Amino acid sequence: MRFEINKDKLLYHLLIAQKALSNKTPNPALQGVKLDVEKDALVITTSNAEISIKIVVEDASLSVESEGSVLIPGKYFIEIIRKLDGQMVHVSHVEDNLIRIEADHSDITLNVLELDDYPNLVFKEKDESVKINVRTLKTVIRQTAFSTSTIENRPILTGVHLQIDGKTLTAVATDSYRLSRKTITLDAEYDPMNVIIPGKSLEELMKILENNQEDVTVHFDQSRVLFKYANVSFLSRLLEGNYPETERLIPQEFPVKITFNKEALMLAIERASLLSKHDSHNAIVKMTLRQDDTVTIASNSPEIGRVLEEIHPVDEVVGSPIKIAFSSRYVLEALKSFASSEVAISFTGETRPFVMTGEFDEAMLQLVLPVKTD
Amino acid sequence: MKKYQIIFHVDLNAFYASCEASRNPALKNHPVGIAPRSDRGILTTANYAARRYGVNSAMNVIEAKRRCPHIKIVPPDFALYETMSSQFFERLRLFTDQLEPASIDEGYMDMTEDANTMHPIKRAEMIQKDIMDNLSLPLSIGIGPNKFLAKMASDMKKPLGITVLRKRNVKSKMWPLPIEQMHGIGRKTVPNLKLLGIHTIGDLATYKNITKLSRFLGNQTESFIRRAYGDDDSVVDPSRAETVQSIGNSKTYEGYLHTYDAMLEALEGLTKTVVRRLHDGELACKTITVQVRFSDFTNHSKQLSRSHHTERHVDIIEAVEHLFDALYDEKPVSLLGVSVGHLEKATRLFRQLNIFEPETPTKTSNVDTLLERINAQYDKPLLKKGFKSSS
C-alpha cells in the first residue's frame, strides 16, 4: 500500500472520521483509523459502539502507487497529519507492522494495529431511502436533539423518535422534563417508518453536514440507520424498544397566551439566573403575568440577592393573570432553538406543561414542565 | 486521652419559627407555626408562644388552629433557614474551631482548652448573648463532661437555658427522666423497652438481663448502659458534618443469594433503609450507587447520576433496579449495597414536574408519607398500596 495526497485534503477528511473514533473502548482495534487504498480512491473508516463513518476520498491530488489496507492508531495519525509541514503527504505500508509517513522534511514511522481485529462494518444502502435536504435535516436535529435525556435510567429517552407517515416526518425528543417536536413535509410519499435514533449520533451527524443545498439520503434497517451525504456514509445504531406515547401529553387548549420578543425574554431569564446558588444554568425562575398585562421574571436567593425583570409582551395578551416557576435552563435552551424573533408561550395552568411556538418556526413546538412551588 | 473534657451542646430553640421572628420581629411574641400553605399541612415547628396553647410540631394545621385560633401559619423558607444556620455556625467558630455541627440547628463544641481562659458558664452566657444580639435567635446550651451529657443537659431547660450536667448528678437529675428522652433511643425502640419494664433512664442503667436487652439495642447495648451512667467516649469531630456526603447500607449474605428475585427483594430492603435515613436527615440525593460482591469474591459497582435531586422512594428504587440489572451476572451474590450521594438539604419548596407523571394534588405523597410512617413504626411493610399487594 502506497499513496500520496494533498495534506489538507487528508486532514479535512480525517477530522470528519474522528467523530466516530473511540478513545475508550474494550476493542483496541476501534482506536484505529482504517485506510483502504483502491485504484483511484482512498477509503477512510472509523467506528465506535454508537456510530461508524466511511468516507470515500476521490481527490485530484490523490495518486495511488499500490493498493492495500491498513489500520493506524487514530489519535497519533491525525495529530501527525495535523502538524506536518508541506503540501503533500506520502503514506506507505513498509513492513507488516509499520506505516511510514513522509512530508517535506519529516519521515515518521508508526506501528499499525491488527487489521484482522477490525469489525466488519456494513454500510449497505437500501433500495428505498428517504431523501431530506441538508438544511431541513439540520433544523430537525437542532430543534429536537437537545431535549433528549443524558442519563441512562430510561435509555429510550436518550434518542429522538422519528416517524414517517406518507409525506410527513415527525421528530420528538423528551427527557421527561421538557419535550421538543418538529414536523416536516418530505418531497415524496414514503412507507410508514418508526425509529429511535440516539440523540448523540444525530448531534455528531449535524457537525458533518455542511452544504445546505445538498440532500441526505437516509436508509433504515431493523437495528441501524445509514445517512449518505456527499462522499460520507454515517451509520448509527438505533435504540430498541417502544417510545412512550407523547402526543396525548401535549395540551391542546391554552387559556393564556403571551407573545414575547425572544431576545428580550432570553436576556431577562439569563439575568434572573445569575444569582442562583447552585449553578446559573439551572436556576428556578418565576414568571408572573400581572393584571395590567406586563410580565415579571423574578428569582430570589436569600443569601445572594434578588432579581426582578419586567417585560412587555409584544402582542395582545390572551387570558388572565398567572404565576409559573420553571428551570431557566429548559426555557433558555428551548428559546434558543427558534428562528423566529417573536415566540408565543401558551399556558394551561401553574402545574401543567407550557408550550412555546414561533410564527417562523413552522410545525415546531417546545414544551417545558414547570417547577412546583409550595 | 485528656483527663477531663468540657463539652457544650448548643441547640437553637424552635429554630424555623425563630428564623421567621428574626426576619419579622412582629412575630416574636405571637404564636407562630411553620407549615406549607394548605389546611392539610403538618407543622414542622411551633414557637414557644404557640406551645403555651398546646400546639406542637407534627400537629396538623387544623388542630393547631383549633387550639390557638390566632396562630399565624407561615410557609417554610428553607433557603432562609439554611442561611441562618450557616451564620450560626460561623459565629460559633469565633469561640472555638472544635465545633461539630450535628444538624441544621444544633452542634457540639469542645471547650476544654477555652476553660483555661474563662469559666464555662460565663462563656456559655457570652455565646448565648452573641447569638441573640447578632442573629436574634434563642439558644440553649448544655454543658457536660462529654457529648452525651451535654446533649441531655441542653434539653433540660428551653428556651434560652444554660444547664450543667455533671457525672455526679446523673443519678439524681437524669435517671428519673422517661426513657424516650434518652438521646439515641429511637421511637421504635421505646415500646419494646417498656415491655421489658424499662420506663426511665435509671431503669435502663440498672436492668439486669443484658441478653434480653441486647435483643432490642443490638451491639449498642453496652454503650447505652455506659451512657445511662454518664460515660461516653465519643469526641467532638469538626470534620464529621462534612463527611456525611453519602448514605449507604450494605449487607453480607453468608449462604449467598441465588435467585434474581431474592436479590431484588434484598435490594428493596436496603433501599428502604437508605431512603428512611435520607428523610430523617431531610436530605435529597443526586447519585445512586449499587454495589455487588459475587460468590467468586469479585466486587462490582455502578453509579447513576440523576438530572435533579430526589428524596422520593420511587425514583431511588427505580434507579437501584436499573443499576442492578446492569450488574447482574447470574452468579450467586454474597454482598449487596445501596448508597446515595451528592446530598443536599431537601428543599421541598421546589419540585421539577415530570411529563410522564401528571400532577395529581399532593394526595399520593401524603398517602406515601403516612404509609411510610406506619410501616416504620413496625419496621416491616405492614401496609402496602392496593395495586402492589397482589404479589
Any idea what the CATH number is for the domain that residue B206 is in? 1.10.150
Query: Which residue among B187, B202, B228 closes a domain?
Result: B228
HSE, side-chain direction, 13 A CA sphere, residue B122: 6
Alpha helices in B307-362 (DSSP H): 313-327
Residues of B in contact with A327 (CB under 8 A): 352
If you count residue pairs, one on A and one on B, with CB atoms under 8 Å apart, how many are there? 70
Domain-located, residue B383:
no
Answer yes or no: pTM beyond 0.80.
Answer: no
The residues with which A285 forms a beta bridge, in sequence order, are A326
Find out whether the peptide bond into B159 is cis, omega within 30 degrees of 0: yes
Query: Which residue among B186, B202, B228 closes a domain?
Result: B228
* Chain position carrying cell 441573640: B132
What residue numbers bound the domain in which B25 lies?
A: 1-165
CA distance, residue B306 to nearest chain A CA (Å): 7
Domain-located, residue B212:
yes
Chain A CA closest to residue B286: A151
Residues B208 and B348 grouped into a single domain: no
Q: Distance (Å, rounded) from C-alpha A191 to C-alpha A148?
A: 26
Chain B CA closest to residue A300: B79
Q: What is the pLDDT of residue B390?
A: 38
Residues B181 and B110 grouped into a single domain: no
Nearest Cβ partner for A153 among B37, B318, B351 = B318
Q: What is the pLDDT of residue A277?
A: 61
Residues B209 and B285 grouped into a single domain: no
SS3 B138: coil
Q: What is the pLDDT of residue A345?
A: 96
Query: What phi-psi label fits residue B292: left (phi over 0), alpha (psi between -120 and 50 degrees) or beta?
Result: beta
Interface test with B, best of A157, A158, A174, A176 (most B CBs within 10 A): A176
Which residues does chain B have with pLDDT short of 70? Answer: 1-3, 37-40, 239-245, 346-349, 359-391
Instruction: Give the DSSP H or E segment for A334.
Output: helix A328-336
Which residue in the list B20, B100, B106, B311 is annotated as catalytic? Answer: B106
Q: Distance (Å, rounded) from C-alpha A366 to C-alpha B102?
A: 45
Q: Where are the domains of chain A?
A: 2-117, 130-247, 250-368
By DSSP bridging, strand B7-12 and strand A106-111 are unpaired
Q: Do B353 and A370 touch (CB under 8 A)?
A: yes
Termini Cα distance of chain A: 71
Cα dihedral B212/B218/B220/B222 (nearest 10):
30
**Sign of the torsion formed by the C-alpha atoms of A244, A247, A252 and A258:** positive
Q: What is the pLDDT of residue B388?
A: 44
Residues B106 and B206 grouped into a single domain: no
Domain-located, residue B127:
yes
Q: Do A175 and B307 touch (CB under 8 A)?
A: yes
- B318 and chain A: CB distance < 8 Å anywhere? yes
Task: Give the total number of structural domains in chain B.
Answer: 3
By DSSP bridging, strand B162-164 and strand B139-144 are parallel
HSE, side-chain direction, 13 A CA sphere, residue A42: 29
Nearest Cβ partner for B307 among A151, A179, A370 = A151
Residues B81 and B161 grouped into a single domain: yes
Residues B155 and B15 grouped into a single domain: yes
Residues B201 and B311 grouped into a single domain: no
- B276 and chain A: CB distance < 8 Å anywhere? no
Q: Which of A180, A177, A179 is nearest to A326 (CA)?
A: A177
Residues B119 and B45 grouped into a single domain: yes
Contacting residues for B352 by C-beta, under 8 A, at least 6 apart: A177, A327, A369, A371, A372, B308
Q: Distance (Å, rounded) from C-alpha A37 to C-alpha A76?
A: 20
Q: Which of A120, A122, A117, A107 is nearest to A32 (CA)?
A: A117
Judge: domain A250-368, CATH 3.70.10.10. yes
Nearest Cβ partner for A249 among B83, B352, B355 = B355
Does A130-247 match A2-117 at the fold level? yes
Q: What is the pLDDT of residue B389?
A: 41
Look at domain A2-117 and name its CATH class.
alpha beta
- B36 and chain A: CB distance < 8 Å anywhere? yes
User: Which amino acid, one-letter code, is at A152?
Assistant: E
Residues B218 and B273 grouped into a single domain: no
Q: Do B304 and A153 touch (CB under 8 A)?
A: yes
Domain-located, residue B388:
no
Q: What is the pLDDT of residue B78?
A: 75
Q: Which of A260, A271, A323 is nearest to A299 (CA)?
A: A271
Contacting residues for A114 by C-beta, under 8 A, at least 6 apart: A29, A71
CA distance, residue B320 to nearest chain A CA (Å): 10
Query: What phi-psi label fits residue B118: left (phi over 0), alpha (psi between -120 and 50 degrees) or beta?
Result: beta
Nearest Cβ partner for A369 among B77, B307, B355 = B355
- B79 and chain A: CB distance < 8 Å anywhere? yes
Q: Which of B164, B147, B160 is nearest to B240 (CA)?
A: B147
Domain-located, residue B70:
yes
Query: Which residue among B165, B184, B200 closes a domain?
Result: B165
Decide: B14 and B45 in contact? Cβ < 8 Å: yes
Q: Distance (Å, rounded) from C-alpha B177 to C-alpha B154?
A: 14
Instruction: Give the DSSP H or E segment for B227.
Output: helix B221-228
Decide: B70 and B82 in contact? Cβ < 8 Å: no
Decide: B49 and B64 in contact? Cβ < 8 Å: no
Q: Is B106 a catalytic residue?
A: yes
Q: What is the pLDDT of residue B380?
A: 59
Q: What is the pLDDT of residue B385?
A: 58
Enter the C-alpha cell of residue A123: 454500510
DSSP code, position A126: P
Q: Do B307 and A249 touch (CB under 8 A)?
A: no
CATH number at B249 reads 3.30.1490.100
Q: What is the pLDDT of residue B219?
A: 79
CATH number at B22 reads 3.30.70.270
Q: Distance (Å, rounded) from C-alpha B149 to C-alpha B143?
A: 7
Residues B20 and B89 grouped into a single domain: yes
Q: Distance (Å, rounded) from C-alpha B122 to C-alpha B130?
A: 12
Q: Distance (Å, rounded) from C-alpha A62 to C-alpha A42?
A: 8
Q: What is the pLDDT of residues B140-176, one digit of tens each?
A: 999 999 999 999 999 998 888 999 999 999 999 999 9
Residues of A in contact with B352 (CB under 8 A): 177, 327, 369, 371-372
Nearest Cβ partner for B354 among A177, A303, A325 = A177
- B306 and chain A: CB distance < 8 Å anywhere? yes
Domain-located, residue B83:
yes
Enter the C-alpha cell of residue B386: 392496593
Q: Which of B77, B81, B83 is nearest to A303 (CA)?
A: B83
Residues B188 and B271 grouped into a single domain: no
Enter the C-alpha cell of residue A331: 426555557
Going residue by residue through chain A, which has 374 residues, state the pLDDT in tens, using 9 for 90 and above. 999 999 999 999 999 999 999 777 778 899 999 999 999 999 999 999 899 999 999 999 999 999 999 999 999 999 999 999 989 999 999 988 899 999 989 999 999 999 999 999 989 888 789 999 999 999 999 999 999 998 766 889 999 999 999 999 999 999 999 999 999 999 999 999 999 999 999 999 999 999 889 999 999 988 999 999 999 999 999 999 999 999 999 999 999 999 999 999 999 999 998 887 665 566 889 999 998 889 999 988 766 788 999 999 998 899 889 999 999 999 999 999 999 999 999 999 888 999 999 989 989 999 999 998 76
DSSP code, position B170: I
CB atoms within 10 A of CB A128: 10
Phi and psi dihedrals of A17, rounded to 5?
Answer: -60, -30
Enter the C-alpha cell of residue A265: 425574554
Q: Which of A166, A213, A162 is nearest to A189 (CA)?
A: A166
SS3 B89: helix
Residues B257 and B371 grouped into a single domain: yes
1.10.420.10, 3.20.20.70, 3.10.150.10, 3.40.630.30: which CATH number matches A130-247?
3.10.150.10
Q: What is the pLDDT of residue B295?
A: 84
HSE, side-chain direction, 13 A CA sphere, residue B43: 28
Residues of A in contact with B40 (CB under 8 A): none
Decide: A346 and A334 in contact? Cβ < 8 Å: no
Interface test with B, best of A286, A303, A366 (most B CBs within 10 A): A303
CA distance, residue B117 to nearest chain A CA (Å): 35
Enter the C-alpha cell of residue B383: 401496609
User: Which amino acid, one-letter code, is at B273?
Assistant: T
Q: What is the pLDDT of residue B233?
A: 84
Q: Distance (Å, rounded) from C-alpha A265 to C-alpha A285?
A: 12
